[in-house]
C-alpha cells in the first residue's frame, strides 16, 4: 500500500488561489467532456495539481470520482493517453499549423510553433494507449 504523502502547506491566500484554479479547470474538463474539440484529462491533471496544494479533500474527491477519477489514475499510474485523445491532439495541432499557413503568418513564427507541436505530438504518440497488464 502506498504511503500517504505529507500534505503541502501553503498560505491561506495561496490556498484560495489553488482552489480557484482547481475549480476552473474542473469546469473546463466537464465542458471538454461534451465538446469534441476540448480535451478533458489535461484539464483534470491541472485541477488535481491545484487541489493537491489547495485541498487534500478535493484532491481525494477528484481521484475517487466515478467518471473523472479513472482517467486521472491511468495517467498518474501508467502515463496512459487514450488513442482517441492522441488522434484528436495530433489532428488539432496539424490543423492549427495549416490555419497559420492559410492566414499568412510569418514563416519563422509558423516554423517555431510547428517545431513545438511536432515535439509535443511525438511525446503524446509515444505514451501508452492502454494500461499494460502483466502476463504470468
Q: For the chain, what is the largest distance between any 2 Cα atoms, rounded to a whole number of angstroms?
A: 56
* pLDDT score recorded for residue 68: 86
Contact 73, 60 (CB under 8 A): no
For residues 112 and 61, membership in a common domain is answered with no
CA gap 27, 93 in Å, rounded: 23
For residues 45 and 69, membership in a common domain is answered with yes
For residues 89 and 62, membership in a common domain is answered with no
Residue with cell 489547495: 54
For residue 130, tell me if it sits in a domain.
no
How many folded domains does the chain comprise? 2
* pLDDT score recorded for residue 4: 53
For residue 19, tell me if it sits in a domain.
yes
Task: Say how many C-beta atoms besides its own lie within 10 A of residue 38's C-beta.
Answer: 16
For residues 69 and 87, membership in a common domain is answered with no
For residues 74 and 95, membership in a common domain is answered with no
State how far the alpha carbon of 106 is from the alpha carbons of 111, 117, 118, 120, in Å. Answer: 9, 17, 18, 21
Task: Decide if pLDDT at 85 tops 90.
Answer: no
Per-residue confidence band for 47, with pLDDT thresholds at 50, 70 and 90: very high
- Mean pLDDT across the chain: 87
Q: The pTM is what?
A: 0.70
Can you give the residue range of the structural domain that contains 97? Answer: 83-125
Above pLDDT 70, what percent of the chain? 91
pLDDT in tens, 4-35: 566 577 788 999 999 999 999 999 988 988 87
For residue 115, tell me if it sits in a domain.
yes
Amino acid at each position: 500500500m502506498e504511503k500517504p504523502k505529507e500534505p503541502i502547506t501553503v498560505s491561506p491566500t495561496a490556498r484560495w488561489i489553488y482552489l480557484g484554479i482547481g475549480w476552473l479547470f474542473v469546469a473546463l474538463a466537464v465542458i471538454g467532456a461534451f465538446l469534441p474539440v476540448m480535451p478533458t484529462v489535461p484539464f483534470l491533471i491541472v485541477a488535481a495539481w491545484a487541489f493537491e496544494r489547495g485541498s487534500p479533500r478535493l484532491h481525494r474527491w477528484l481521484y475517487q470520482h466515478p467518471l473523472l477519477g479513472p482517467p486521472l489514475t491511468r495517467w498518474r499510474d501508467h502515463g496512459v493517453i487514450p488513442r482517441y485523445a492522441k488522434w484528436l491532439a495530433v489532428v488539432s495541432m496539424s490543423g492549427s499549423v495549416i490555419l497559420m499557413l492559410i492566414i499568412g503568418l510569418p514563416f519563422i513564427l509558423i516554423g517555431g510553433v510547428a517545431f513545438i507541436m511536432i515535439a509535443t505530438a511525438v511525446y503524446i504518440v509515444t505514451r501508452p494507449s492502454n494500461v499494460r497488464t502483466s502476463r504470468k
